């Protein structure tokens, strides 16, 4: 699968009532190693319960695409975290991106010209906020090997040639990022954009 975007923006006729903005929600640290378990049906119900429309989940790692008229995504992320804590008894971090922002993440891919990178070994770590100087400095001081890492705004693009699961870079990054943000492989990134764009048609 190529590292370029596969989802195309399509123009379609819409009814008078627009569906709202499509938002991609990514949870940190759910359904990992038997901890922080959330069923996807229960997760969709939780989002719908606070007025988020058309919630759709993708795989089991806590990805929800929905539509909403809300524009303050920082406040919305906190509201989702509050809801999940009340409903499931733990508080996963929630990172939100609009469809436009996710499309931009794909277009900014610094490895786009590389044909030697399998999409399942290429990850994007999404941060909830722009990293401050301390966090950026800590990341830029890391000298990964054999991994390749690029920091660009609120995203880190990382190639794990030996796979993410075996990488010694992961705990180092967790420390530099103060355990914030959440990673998705390239297949998931492109699929989430595809789902979001379909909701907006």
CATH number, domain containing residue 87: 3.30.70.1280
Q: Is residue 12 part of a domain?
A: no
- Number of domains forming the structure of the chain: 2
**Do 43 and 74 reside in the same domain of the chain?**
yes
Model pLDDT, residue 18: 60
Q: Is residue 77 part of a domain?
A: yes
**Do 77 and 119 reside in the same domain of the chain?**
no
Instruction: Using the predicted structure, report yes or no on whether residue 14 has a pLDDT greater than 60.
Output: no
**Do 177 and 79 reside in the same domain of the chain?**
no
List of E strands, the chain: 21-27, 53-58, 63-68, 94-98, 122-126, 148-152, 155-159, 182-185
Q: Mean pLDDT over residues 119-148, rounded?
A: 96
Q: Is residue 38 part of a domain?
A: yes
Strand 63-68 vs strand 122-126: parallel, antiparallel, or unpaired? unpaired
**Contact status, residue 25 vs residue 80, Cβ threshold 8 Å:** yes
Q: Is residue 140 part of a domain?
A: yes
Which residue range is the domain that position 179 belongs to? 108-184
**Do 87 and 131 reside in the same domain of the chain?**
no
- Please give the model's pTM, rounded to 2 decimal places: 0.88
pLDDT averaged over every residue in the chain: 90
**Do 52 and 123 reside in the same domain of the chain?**
no
Residues 6+ apart with CB under 8 A from 75: none
Give the span between the Cα atoms of 173 and 85, in whole angstroms: 25
Report the half-sphere exposure of 46 (CA within 13 A, side-chain side).
Answer: 22
* pLDDT above 90 as % of the chain: 82
**Do 30 and 94 reside in the same domain of the chain?**
yes
């Amino acid at each position: 699968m190529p590292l370029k975007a596969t989802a195309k923006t399509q123009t379609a006729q819409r009814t008078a009532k627009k569906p709202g903005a499509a938002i991609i929600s990514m949870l940190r640290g759910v359904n990992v190693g038997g901890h922080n378990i959330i069923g996807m049906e229960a997760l969709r119900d939780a989002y719908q319960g606070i007025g988020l429309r058309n919630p759709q989940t993708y795989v089991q790692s806590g990805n929800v695409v929905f539509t909403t008229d809300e524009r303050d995504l920082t406040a919305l992320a906190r509201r989702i975290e509050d809801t999940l804590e009340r409903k499931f008894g733990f508080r996963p971090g929630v990172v939100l991106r609009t469809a436009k922002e996710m499309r931009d993440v794909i277009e900014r891919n610094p490895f786009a010209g590389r044909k030697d990178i399998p999409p399942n070994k290429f990850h994007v770590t999404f941060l909830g906020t722009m990293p401050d100087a301390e966090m950026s400095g800590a990341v830029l001081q890391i000298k990964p090997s054999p991994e390749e890492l690029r920091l660009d705004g609120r995203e880190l693009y990382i190639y794990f040639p030996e796979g993410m699961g075996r990488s010694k870079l992961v705990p180092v990054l967790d420390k530099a990022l103060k355990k914030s943000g959440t990673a998705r492989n390239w297949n998931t990134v492109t699929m989430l954009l595809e789902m979001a764009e379909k909701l907006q048609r």
